[in-house]
Amino acid sequence: MHVVVMGCGRVGSAIARRLEQIGHSVAVIDQDPEAFRRLGPDFAGRQITGLGFDRQTLLDSGIDSAGAFAAVSSGDNSNIISARVARETFGVQHVVARIYDSKRAEVYERMGIPSVATVPWTVNRLLRELLSVKVSELWREPTGKVLLMRVTVTEVWVGRKLVELETATGARASWLIRFGEAQLPSASTVLQDGDQLVVAATDELTAHVHEVVERGPGGGEH
């Protein structure tokens, strides 16, 4: 997969190097050409000097063929504008933004753009968001047995009842996010394109949830 990283600070450079190490092609955007030194001499990806929300800069980075985009510069505004352009203009499937202001982060999460605050596990969380196909872990209760997972509804599930997905995965839907608004689903809820679910599951179910979400009804049967 091709991944575009906007921002070549400590986090951006670490993500870019890690992505390249595990076999992805990477392009890094930064306003300061000196920042690319953080990538080291062995980095083989593209290095583009410019603004991460500039159309031509993004095209130079290969955004039109990218499967993921990470906005991790030092500015909240730049990050969210870049993330929205990547998703809304270029249709990049996996977009994540690093946000310093926690109140803003909540707003962007409701818009469907995962955001990561400045915490020690930023790099790992960003990588998980970028590389997760359609399912990612949100929260785990203290005993570690039950977790909440965010599920993006795939094409194979559009038009089907939520109860079918619950039955097929064994997970239970806690709430549904549709058009940026959270709502409690009912037994008659029909899944739509763009829906995101938050489901409760156990560790034993997580791999099965991934498989069923990707393959559709019957996809996880053995």
Nearest to 50, CA basis, from 6, 88, 18, 93 = 6
CA-to-CA dists, residue 119 to 38, 122, 124, 170, angstroms? 20, 5, 10, 32
- The verdict on residue 46 lying in a domain is yes
Q: What is the pLDDT of residue 33?
A: 96
Residue 62: domain span: 2-131
Q: What is the pLDDT of residue 108?
A: 67
Take residue 95 and report the two structure tokens written for it: 């977009």
Q: Is the dihedral of CA 72, 73, 76, 79 positive or negative?
A: negative
Helix, strand, coil fractions of the chain, as percent rounded to 5: 40, 25, 35
Please check whether residues 72 and 153 belong to one and the same domain: no
Q: What is the pLDDT of residue 178?
A: 87
Helix (H) or strand (E) holding 25: strand 25-30
- The verdict on residue 222 lying in a domain is no
CATH code, domain with 144 = 3.30.70.1450
Helix (H) or strand (E) holding 183: strand 181-183
Q: What is the pLDDT of residue 195?
A: 87
Between CA 57 and CA 88 the distance in angstroms is 16
Please check whether residues 197 and 104 belong to one and the same domain: no
Q: What is the pLDDT of residue 120?
A: 44
Divide the 222 residues of the chain into consecutive groups of 10 and give the mean pLDDT of each group: 94 91 93 96 95 94 94 89 92 84 68 60 62 69 84 89 95 90 91 90 87 77 44
Between CA 49 and CA 20 the distance in angstroms is 19
Number of domains in the chain: 2
